[in-house]
């Protein structure tokens, strides 16, 4: 665990430290272990760094709630890379972690060589959309704080977005891993890192020059539409629609996921 100002980041390394680093950023409700299966397939060729994001796992935040937002979290992660003497690395983010990864790419392009965005988005385009989503995020955060975490998780994964994930034989294992999180900390993350509070990144896509690989599952209609538009706006982006997967590709089709990530980074 490394400490910077308002952050005590929990993380782990796997792989050969003489190889290029990949920084892994998990999604909402996850933790640094979410990519273990992928890392086991990539660690022979890369040095893999997985981090618990604020509000998740064992990372501790000692400052106020603004430390959970996207801009401050991004600066905290850059400080972590500086302390670890990682000048430049590959980057991979899933869902919430993918939105954060895109923010990092656009604001610190000199730090990332190539970036994989799994089931990610640049946020919402209009103030009206963000205001409506923020209100929904705040209500959901309150529910998270006041309800049983297991019940909240069952409701969360009952969304159409996760239909294919729920059909996985390993879904119960994933659900159990989520219960290790602290509901009050998760609520802080949702209020501050949720899509409703995220700055829109749509207008910055056209200027991005860092190579992006956009990954979406073939069963994830919502994010196929979003990522198709992203690919059309960003000349440095390529889109790959992954078979036999929905929103959580690295869990539902891990071997295919690892193969295309390896090919992109090589």
Span 129-145, mean pLDDT? 95
Q: Is residue 181 part of a domain?
A: no
Span 197-215, mean pLDDT? 97
pLDDT band at 220 (very low <50, low <70, confident <90, very high): very high
Give the chain's domain count: 1
Q: Residue 113 — φ and ψ, nearest 5°? A: -80, -50
Q: Is the pLDDT of residue 108 over 80?
A: yes
pLDDT in tens, 76-98: 999 999 999 999 999 999 999 99
Distance of alpha carbon 5 from alpha carbon 77, whole angstroms: 12
Q: What is the pLDDT of residue 55?
A: 97
Q: Is residue 103 part of a domain?
A: yes
pLDDT band at 5 (very low <50, low <70, confident <90, very high): confident
Q: Is the pLDDT of residue 28 over 60?
A: yes
Q: Is residue 256 part of a domain?
A: yes
Q: Is residue 95 part of a domain?
A: yes
Distance of alpha carbon 31 from alpha carbon 47, whole angstroms: 18
Kindly report the CATH number assigned to the domain that includes residue 53.
Answer: 3.40.50.1820
Q: What is the pLDDT of residue 36?
A: 95
CB 79 within 8 A of CB 104: no
Q: What is the pLDDT of residue 3?
A: 59
Strand 47-51 with 11-15, pairing: antiparallel
Q: Read off the pTM.
A: 0.96
Span 113-136, mean pLDDT? 97
The proportion of the chain whose per-residue pLDDT surpasses 70, expressed as a percent, equals 98
CB atoms within 10 A of CB 71: 12
Q: Is residue 18 part of a domain?
A: yes
> Could you tell me the residue range of the domain that residue 104 belongs to?
2-124+200-265
Q: Is the pLDDT of residue 188 over 80?
A: yes
Of residues 169 and 33, more confidently modeled: 33
Q: Is residue 244 part of a domain?
A: yes
The number of C-alpha atoms within 13 Å of 92 and in the hemisphere containing its C-beta is 26
The proportion of the chain whose per-residue pLDDT surpasses 90, expressed as a percent, equals 89
pLDDT band at 1 (very low <50, low <70, confident <90, very high): low
Q: Is residue 164 part of a domain?
A: no
Span 15-41, mean pLDDT? 95
Q: Is the pLDDT of residue 2 over 70?
A: no
Q: What is the pLDDT of residue 121?
A: 98
């Amino acid at each position: 665990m490394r400490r910077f100002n308002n952050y005590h980041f929990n993380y782990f390394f796997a792989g050969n430290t003489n190889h290029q680093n990949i920084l892994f950023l998990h999604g909402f409700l996850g933790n640094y272990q979410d990519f273990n299966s992928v890392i086991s397939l990539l660690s022979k060729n890369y040095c893999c760094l997985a981090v618990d994001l604020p509000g998740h796992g064992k990372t501790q935040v000692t400052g106020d709630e603004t430390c959970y937002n996207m801009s401050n979290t991004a600066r905290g992660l850059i400080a972590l890379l500086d302390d670890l003497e990682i000048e430049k690395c590959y980057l991979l983010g899933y869902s919430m972690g993918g939105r954060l990864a895109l923010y990092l790419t656009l604001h610190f392009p000199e730090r990332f060589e190539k970036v994989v965005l799994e089931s990610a988005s640049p946020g919402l385009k209009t103030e009206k959309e963000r205001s409506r989503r923020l209100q929904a995020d705040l209500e959901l955060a309150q529910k998270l704080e006041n309800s049983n975490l297991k019940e909240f998780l069952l409701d969360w994964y009952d969304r159409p977005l996760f239909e294919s994930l729920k059909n996985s034989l390993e879904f119960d294992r994933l659900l159990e891993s989520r219960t290790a999180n602290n509901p009050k900390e998760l609520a802080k993350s949702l209020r501050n890192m949720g899509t409703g509070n995220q700055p829109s990144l749509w207008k910055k896509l056209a200027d991005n020059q860092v190579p992006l690989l956009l990954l979406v599952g073939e069963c994830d209609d919502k994010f196929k539409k979003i990522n198709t538009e992203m690919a059309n706006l960003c000349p440095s982006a390529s889109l790959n629609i992954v078979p036999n997967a929905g929103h959580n590709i690295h869990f539902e089709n891990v071997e295919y996921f690892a193969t295309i990530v390896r090919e992109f980074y090589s």
